Amino acid sequence: MARITVEDCLDKVDNRFELVMVASKRARALATGGKEPLVPAESDKPTVIALREIAEEVITPAEIMNPKEEEPEEKFETVEDILKDKADDDLLSVGETRRIETAKENQRKADVKKAEKKENKLSEAQQSNKKRMDDLENRIEKLENAGKTDIPAQPK
C-alpha cells in the first residue's frame, strides 16, 4: 500500500477545496456500493481509494462533479398506459374500459367533495371565531360604557 498525499493530487486538481469536494464525492460513491474502485483496493478505505484514483488520473474531477446521467434500460409503464394497451389489443372489453374510466371519474369527484368539505369546515370555524370576537368586543364596549357612567369624578 503506497502512501498517498494531498500534494500528489494537487497536480491533477486546481485547488485544495476542489480536491476535497471531488475526493469526498467519489469516496461516498465507493462507500455506498454504487461504484466500483478503478484502482486495486488493497483493503484501503474509500477516501484513500478516491485519492489514489485522482493521483493516478484514472478519474478526472470533471467526471466526478458532472456525472453523465445514465438512462434506465427500460421505461416503466404507468397503469393508464397498460390499460390503454390492453384496450387497444381488445383484451379489455369496451364495458370494462368504461367501468375503469367511470371509477376514476368517481374518485376525482370524491376528492373534490372532500376538499370542498374541508374548506367549508375551515370557513365555518372562521365565521364562528369572528362571531365570538364580535361578542367579546361588544361586551368590552358595554363594560367600558358602564364604567364611565358609574364611577363618580374624583375631586382634585
Domain shared by 45 and 89, yes or no: no
pLDDT digits (tens, 9 = 90+) for 71-127: 555 666 677 777 777 666 555 566 777 888 888 899 999 898 888 888 777 777 788
Residue 111 lies in a domain: yes
Residues 118, 115: Cα–Cα separation, whole Å: 5
Residue 137 lies in a domain: yes
pLDDT digits (tens, 9 = 90+) for 24-64: 998 898 888 778 888 888 888 888 888 888 888 888 888 87
CATH number of the domain encompassing residue 31: 3.90.940.10
Whether pTM exceeds 0.85: no
Structural domain containing residue 110: 79-150
Residue 107 lies in a domain: yes
Report the candidate in 62, 30, 61 with the shortest Cα–Cα distance to residue 46: 30
For residues 50 and 30, the answer to whether their CB atoms sit within 8 Å is yes
Crossing angle of the two packed helices 79-88 and 94-150, in degrees rounded to 10? 150
Residues 27-53 as b/e (b if ≥16 CB within 10 A, e otherwise) read bebbeeeebebebeeeebebbbbbbbb
Residues 128, 120: Cα–Cα separation, whole Å: 12
